[in-house]
Each structure stands twice: as structure tokens, then as C-alpha cells.
Structure 1
Amino acid sequence: MPRTRSTKNDSAETKGEASSKSSVSKYPLGAKNEKPPTVFILPKKATQDARIVNLPNPRNAKPSRYLVCPTTGIYEFTKISAPKSMPRSWLIESNGVEDASDTSKTNNSRGQVASSADLYVATTIDPLFFVLPALVHADSSRKAEEKRRLFMTIYDHLDKLETEESHMSEILRWEGTRSLLESRMAAVCDTADGGGDIMFRLNEKKLFAIILNKARKMCQGGLAPSMEEKFVTKALEAPVQVSSQRSSDSKQAKSSTEKGPGSGESTPQTESADSQSTTATSQSDLSADSQASTAATSVEDDGDVVSAVKVSDDVVHLQRLRTAFSFISSRYLTSSLATQLSSSLADQTTSGIDFAPLDAYYTELAKLRAEAAASRAIGDYTKKRGLDAEEEEARAEKKRKLEEEKKKKASESRASKELKKVNTAGMMKLSAFFKKK
């Protein structure tokens, strides 16, 4: 029985349903999250009462996020990003959690992909840096002739830093955090008892001593590898120079080698053949060794690459200390306070540190770099002059050859020119007719 049209339509619909079912993914993908999760590494010693709050940045007073724990202190977040040339992402999986209402069912684990591979690590920060802007604010808001430091409570000081986005007032309600801030303020302030409340007044000498002590601790064992390379090694690196002077020892070795092992006075000796051969062999070995050592010495003396000036350990230590102090000041202190403390560091009577060797080294280093730059410029100019002379000689030689060819062509006769135009391909040479048969 022939098939009808309705049968064909039914079969087409059946195939379409089968193909649509086969195209459905077994694991459907969820919608892209507009706010992907952020990865944090938090300290283990932080308690469950720790909170991420907004506090004014000690450097620029902008609201920033910090982790505050009433028991262990305050932590700042350091951002670690992947290089732009190598994009990275996070695959975050959350384990299944049992449902409290129904113990027989559990939620399946779910995963999320964070396109940004940024990582935030919580590191300890001294709470002193958060109160310093408030302690200095009272002096900076007045004129120089009207400045007068007053004893004030911690609440009076920190009220100057209170903003709508700051949670400073909330963390002051925690007894542990308030005690920690008061203890750090007492380390840099003169204190007085004001009716049961402790009152504080900034002491710049105490503050400078604490910042200097932090810089010294930072220098112990060397700075971080990146800081050591950029701010110490490269900053103190002197230009290299090739030493062409030979030492007196090498000259003496060369002169003794030129004389040779047989240049001394010979004394008649009666020895056996074996002893004579042994003596000759030892003398030849000694001569070969001395010649090799002399050659090596001459090569080393002719082209020793040495530094123009040697850096002492004292200079390196002073550079590390200055770098560490500048890092702390530029990251955690206001610009005005950092400038004031930097001038105190440069003053030997205040800091007790003599930076004269470091300054003298920098002066000598500047002269050496200027001389190296000048010699490099002269060398480049001489090299350029040499290349120009070679090019001129090549052009003159080419011009001379062209002139000789022109003269040669002009001296040729017309018959010679016509003969050169004749096609002699396949013709025998004239010398072939004079060969012996």
C-alpha cells in the first residue's frame, strides 16, 4: 500500500523531536553571575567575630576594606593579580550542606567560575597607622603660630576621621579593639589622666623612634627580592670598566718564562740515562705549565672586567635602611608627616645615623656614570666616523672603476666595437686552425 502525505509528516515530526532531545545538554549551564565571588585568604587565628569593615586609608584617607578581629587585631588586604599576558580564572566549588528540615536530602555541590584571578591576602597591619592622621590633624588644621598641642581622649581624636562610609565608631564599641588602639596611641603619645579617661598628645620623637625601629626590623635578613633588586642592587650598581694594567707579579712571571728553563748556568754532572731523561721530562713539563699560566695571566690582565668602585657593606646597609623607611612612610603615613619624618632621618643629631658614607658614594657614582656616558658617546662618534670613512673609500673605488671603464670604451676603435657585437656562438676559435693534425 503506498504511503500517504500524512505519514511523511508524522515521520518528519518524529525525527525533529528526536534531534531536539539529543541536542539538549546533560549538564545545563547557569546564567553568568554579574558579581562573581572574590577569593580571600584569611588568617587562621582570626575568630568568628572578625568582620570586614570600611576604614579610612592611613595614606590618603579614602575608605578601604580591612579585616578587624576583636581578639587578634586589624588586617589589610594585599591584592595579587595574574599577569595580563597569561589570563587566569578561578573554579570555586561549594560543598553540599545538609538541609536542617529534611535530613534525608542533601544539597548537591555547586561550582562557580570567576573570570578574574585576583587573590586577596589578609596581612597584619599596625593599628597605630589608623590613629596617626587624627593625632596630626589637630596640628595641621591651625596656623603655625597658633599651634598648641592639647591632651584629648581617643574618642575626640578619632571623631575627626569619622565619615559616613567609615565603621570606626562601630569597632570602637569592641572592647578588645578599643584597648588595642589605646595601647598603640600610648606608644607614640604623652598621656595624662583626665577624670578617669586617658588623654593623649602626640610626641614626634616617640613616633620617629617607632618608625625607625620598624625600618630596622624590615632590613634584618635583607629586603624582599624585588625591592632588593630594584632599590639596592641596581641603585648602587657602578659602571664597569676594562682593566688593562698588569700586576708586577705577572710581569715577573712573564720575564722568568722568557728566559726559559735552560737559561741558567749549566754545571757538569755525571748521571745515568734514566736520570737524564727524567730531568728533561720534568723540565719540559715545567716549561709547558709556566707558558700556559703566563698565557692565561696575560689574557686576564689584558681584559679584566671589573667594577669602577666597590660597594662596602656599610653603604649597602644604609641604603636598605633608607629604602625601608621610605617604603613605610610612603605607604602608611600622610605626605606631610612622611616629609617631616624623612627630614628627621637625614638629621644625624635626631636619628643617630650617619648617612655621609652613602651620600659620598652617590656623589662618586654620579661622576663615574657621567664619565661612562661621555666615553660611550665618544666611542659611538669614533665608530661612526670609521664607518663613514669606509663608505667613502668604497664609493671612491667604485667611481674609479667606472671612470676606467669609460676611458677603455672611449679608446676602442669602431671595428672592435662592431666585432664585439657579432654572435660567435658555435664558431670555432682561431687557434683551432693552427693545431697539429
Structure 2
Amino acid sequence: MNITKEQIDPLNAVLKVELSREDYQGKVDTILKDYRKNANIPGFRKGQVPMGLIKKQYGKAVLVDEVNKLLQDNLNTYLTEEKLDVLGNPLPKQQDNFNWDADELAFEFELGLAPDFEVSLTPKKGIPHFKIIADKKMIDDQVDRIRKQYGKLVAQSEVGPDNEVTGTFENEAAEINHKTTLELSKLKSKKALSALKGKKSGDTVTLKTKGLFKEDFLLPGMLGIPREKAEGLDIEVNFTIEESNLREPAELNQELFDKLFGPDKVHSEKEMRDKIKEDSEAQFQQQSDQKLLNDVTEKLIENTKFDLPTEFLKKWMQNTGEKVLTEEEAKDEFERSEKGLRYQLIEGKLIKEHGLELQFEELRDYAKNFIRSQMAQYGQTDPKEEDLDGIAARVLSNQDEVKRLSEQLMSQKLLDLYKEKANLKTKEVTYDNFVKEVYG
């Protein structure tokens, strides 16, 4: 066998493979002999079928199969030994009237080569790195929610402006019959508030659904209907009152602190507020990190310029999927995939240049830490090391889990790299302003 490479341009090459009969004939003959031993053909005893008949019936198929295996194995070896960085797989060139009976077989394969390029993590304009803080208003609101959540309900003889009213919504035509509890502070409609004020258990009031709540997403849950049915709903519903209660906020005392944070972890309102701020900002960090990953990814794609073997990739996409695509379909598929492909190449270069390749020990430790955090949520705060090893081994025996954890760990390693090396500009914002800036 002889393999040679013809360089067409920096991104395209052709591999020429020449096979002689000696390269494959021995394997073909061995397989045909096995076929002969086991062939059941009417008119012949098992194992006594003439070899000429076996060759006529199976010879060409066995030859093609063995040559293809030989080509695949040797092409992979050649690409590895020559350290060729290819995109996709070698694509066989069409050869009309190919003669499989010739003593010498010649094949050609098109290659799409990965481009050579440089990646810079220091663009002139700094990439925003959001530091999300929990401001006083957010902490005040959280304290109010906690006091309300752990407060006690005091029965009221009639509905007051700050009451929680339990009752049933009904509209027979709209198939609504749902018991719920209304927090009057969440009502937007002044007419609804006026209609409910002063009512007692057993009274029924008629309310309009349109504009009933300050936040529209509350309507489907309150009425017990699907979200899509609640969109734009503008009908009247009857609400029959069963009871009205006033929630007295819980006192900020040691009993509440222990209930929230564990015994003797927090001892004052100030410590409680500091703890809320710390926990909130730790949660915000995940959102800030994801935003940073997305922004750096976009900047790298935008600023890292290189050409791709576009025509080869279109042809490869056209011919190697589950079904053969038309030229137009392949063009559309390439356009959809191009951005992701460019980032894969950029990411691969960063991983190689900065030594970020995953090691099994790293993945195992990452899996164990993930398992440890999951167990802690269920009260198992001090698992044995051998138990963690056993669970991690079972998790890592699942290829889907390996892929998921590998992607998470690589994202973390890239994030750490960006924080250390990239040109970042820290931007301190409240959570509300972060949401406005990121999501509009």
C-alpha cells in the first residue's frame, strides 16, 4: 500500500491511496474459505460447494468490504502519524467505471484541513465582567418575605386591605372552578380591591380577569387553568369567600435565626442581613459567570479571523449525514453550523495552548465533589470517601454522564482562564440592573 498527499491549497488536500492485490487478497481468500465451510446451497453438501460458486456469489462483496476496512484503518493511521489536523473525515472522490478486478486499485480522498490562526484574549476594548451585588432594597424585600413566610395567620371577621383571602373562583362557561388563596397586596385592580373590602365568609364577589393582578403570570395559577388559556383572558369570574386572615410578620429573634440558618449560626438582624447578602451574591455569581462565558465566546468568534475549507465542508455535510442533502440544504446546514465550528476550533486551540486538557483524575474528583454537594442537600454532610468513590465509578461508567460532566468541567477551566488572562472590565451592578442590561 502507498499513500501520498497532494496539497491543493492551505485548507485542502487530496490523499492518493494505491493498493496491490497482495494487500488484501489473503484476507479475502480466508473469509471466502470460511463462507465455503458454512454455506448451505441446494444441490451441495455443507462444505463441498465449489469455490468458484462461492467467489461468484460472495467474492465482490467480500472484496469491497475488506478493501474499505483496509482503507479506513490505514487512512486513520496516516492522519495520526502525519499529524494532519482535518475537519470532518476524508471524503472519497467519485470514480466512474471503477474496476474492482484490477491488480492495482487506486483511490482518492479529499481532505479539509484546519486553518492556522492565533487567538488573543486581550481585545482592545475590555469585556464587561459583571459583579452583581445585593443592594439594601433587595435585602429589605427578602427580610420582609421571610418574616411574612414564617409569620402567623390571624383570622379576620371581614376582608381588610392586607389580608390573605381563601375562596373559590368559578365560571361555568370557561370551566373554571378552583380554590385558592389571594394575597390582596398582589391585586392590581382597584375595583377588585374595593369589591372585596369588608366582605365576610360566604360572600360572593364578581371580578374581571383582565388586569386583576400586578403580575400577569399569577392569573393561570389562581384560576387553575393552563397558561395559554389565561393569555389575554377577559371574562368575569365569581369569587366565593371562605375565610380571611391577616398575616402577622414573624419576630426577628433567635428562634427564627436558628430555623433559617441552623443553631447558633446567626445571632442578630445585622448578621442575618449579612448572611442574606452573602448567599444572594454567591447565587448571582453563577449568572455572572455564564454571562462572561457567553460574552467571551462571542468576542473570540468576532475577533479571531480565519478561513475555512467551505466547499469541502458543504460537500461533507451533504454526503455524510443520515440522508443525502441537496446542495441548497447543505449550504443552509453549513451556515447554521459555521459559528459553532469556528468556536470549536478556537476552543481547541485555547485548550492545547494553555494545557487545559482533561485528565481522568480531574474528572473523577469533579464528579465526587458534585456528588458530595448533592448528598449535602439531603443532610448527608460527611460521606465516607469509599462511598464517594463507588458512586463516582458508577456515574463515570455512563458515557452520557461523562460527556455532561466533562463539558461542565471544561467550561469551568475556560472560565478560570478567561478570568486570569482575558481583558475584563469589572462592572458592579444590582441584580435588577443586571437583568435590564442583559435581557432588556
TM-score normalised to structure 2 length: 0.22
Pick the structure with greater CA Rg: 1
With CA pairs under 8 Å and 6+ residues apart, which has the higher RCO, 1 or 2?
Answer: 2
TM-score normalised to structure 1 length: 0.22
Structure number having the greater strand percentage: 2
